[in-house]
Amino acid sequence: MRTVKIEHITPLTAERWLKNNNKRNRPISDDRVLSYSTDMDNGDWHETNASIGFDTDKDLVDGQHTLSAISLSGKSQDLIIVRGLHLKAMDSIDIGKSRTSSDVLGIHGETETTRLAAMLGFLKGHYEEKGNPAHTRIRPNQIMTVLTEFPNAPDKMKEVSRSPFGVQRFMDGYYYVFSEINEKESREFFQKVVKGIGVEENDPAYVLINRLRRNRESNTHKLAPIILAAYIVKAWNSTRCGKKLRSLHFREGEKFPTAL
């Protein structure tokens, strides 16, 4: 049963809730707590429609910064307290302020969440656009649903080393996509591209590495993301077909390649 009422929250109450009920929140922003606390110290903190929220498991889902500021300032405050929120309420709270898809993934126990959110955005766009590398921006309240569509994404991401050439979402996303085609060949291809393992001249991975490196080092002629994505797919396709390459091209008006 959901209840809403105004309660007088003392520093001791705030500290108890933070200690016993704050199990799944994102990391505290010290700057925000200090800002709120300063307002409380100066008498500039006023009651608003913002609330302290607890879900049906009595876990704190909103208001940790306000409670931390009460504890820091030592000043009691009258606050709106909402109890009995849905267990998934945290995924939608603060979307208009600062909670991101990365924050939501972290709340649910995922790691490298900024990278994972970018990978999921790539995968969503890739499959919705039938192979084109359209990056879909996923709202925080949708990110966990998207993760259920690609449940192996976190594990696949961890199998790919950090790219020295940037374009990490392409490396992570295409590793997932290519692994759906042939997991062993995908692993070998990205070991070459990212780590330089077993690369020979005229090997498609060698050509791709040089192209990505030149783009990374250029200060004036950065290639569009769609071109870099096309290079990755073309290098993969040539590797699969046993073809040698001397260069990579993707011309204006050319149809985006389909991974083989």
Could you report the per-residue pLDDT of 147-180, keeping only the tens digit for each?
999 999 999 999 998 888 878 889 999 999 999 9
Contact 132/125 with Cβ under 8 angstroms?
A: yes
Where is 16: in which H helix or E strand?
helix 11-20
Q: What is the value of pTM for the model shown?
A: 0.65
Distance of alpha carbon 50 from alpha carbon 45, whole angstroms: 12
pLDDT at 97 over 60: no
The fraction of the chain above a pLDDT of 90, given in percent, is 32
Q: What separation in angstroms does the CA of 118 have from each of 105, 134, 154, 179, 183?
A: 12, 12, 11, 18, 21
Tokens of 253: 């008006």
Q: What separation in angstroms does the CA of 149 have from each of 106, 107, 127, 141, 156?
A: 18, 19, 11, 15, 14
The reported pLDDT for the residue numbered 95 is: 46
The reported pLDDT for the residue numbered 51 is: 82
Q: Per residue in 188-236, pLDDT tens?
A: 999 999 888 878 887 899 999 999 988 888 877 878 888 999 999 999 9
Where is 77: in which H helix or E strand?
strand 77-85
What are phi and psi for residue 159, nearest 5 degrees? Answer: -80, -10
pLDDT at 134 over 80: no
Mean of all residue pLDDT scores within the chain: 85
Query: Quick one: how far is CA 35 from the chain centroid?
Result: 27
2 residue type, one letter: R
- Mean pLDDT on 65-81: 88
- Tracing tokens 């709120």 back to the chain, one arrives at 36
Beta 51-55 vs 77-85: how paired, if at all?
parallel
Q: What separation in angstroms does the CA of 92 have from each of 49, 62, 100, 211?
A: 17, 10, 10, 41
Contact 40/46 with Cβ under 8 angstroms?
A: no
Contact 106/113 with Cβ under 8 angstroms?
A: yes
Q: Terminus-to-terminus CA distance in the chain, angstroms?
A: 54
The reported pLDDT for the residue numbered 1 is: 75
- Mean pLDDT on 250-259: 88
Distance of alpha carbon 173 from alpha carbon 153, whole angstroms: 8
Q: In what order do the strands lie in the sheet with 60-62?
A: 3-9, 77-85, 51-55, 60-62
The reported pLDDT for the residue numbered 89 is: 65
Sort residue 139 into left (φ over 0), alpha (ψ -120 to 50) or beta. Answer: beta
Tokens of 156: 């696949």
